[in-house]
Amino acid sequence: MKRSGILNGRLNEAVSRLGHGDVVVVADCGLPVPDGVPFVDLAVVHGVPRFTQVLDALLADAVFEGCVAAEEARSGPAAGWVTERFAEVGYVPHADLKALTASARLFLRTGEATAYANVVLRCGVPF
């Protein structure tokens, strides 16, 4: 049994397979999953698990060198959640963010029901 870190077997396996430059999406429960993109659906009910809970677990387990959020998120709480965790955040229109998700190596659906609580992450390396 693992001592710490991500316990969900499917998520743990997917994170372990990521490499430098791979794209990972952490999404609210409303963002559509593009056809053909591997996804792990963590949503139980609205609000469970929270976007921030999943993002924090992911950040504790993997290295990310960049992130992109929707321009529309800037006017809501989701922008703060992202800027608290990343020094630099790129912003694009929500329609463009949805298009970026098609290149994801992993898509994580949370139970978050806050508008625009979505982020596209680019994997880095720990060295």
Q: Annotated binding site for substrate, which residues? A: 28, 94, 116-118
The Cα-based distances of 55 to 13, 36, 61, 65 in angstroms read 16, 22, 10, 14
Q: Is 62 helix (H, G, I), strand (E, B) or coil?
A: coil
In the residue annotation, 46 being an active-site residue is answered as no
Name the token pair of 91: 């912003």
From 13, 20, 56, 65, active-site residue: 20
Residues flagged as binding site: 28, 94, 116-118
* Catalytic residue list: 20
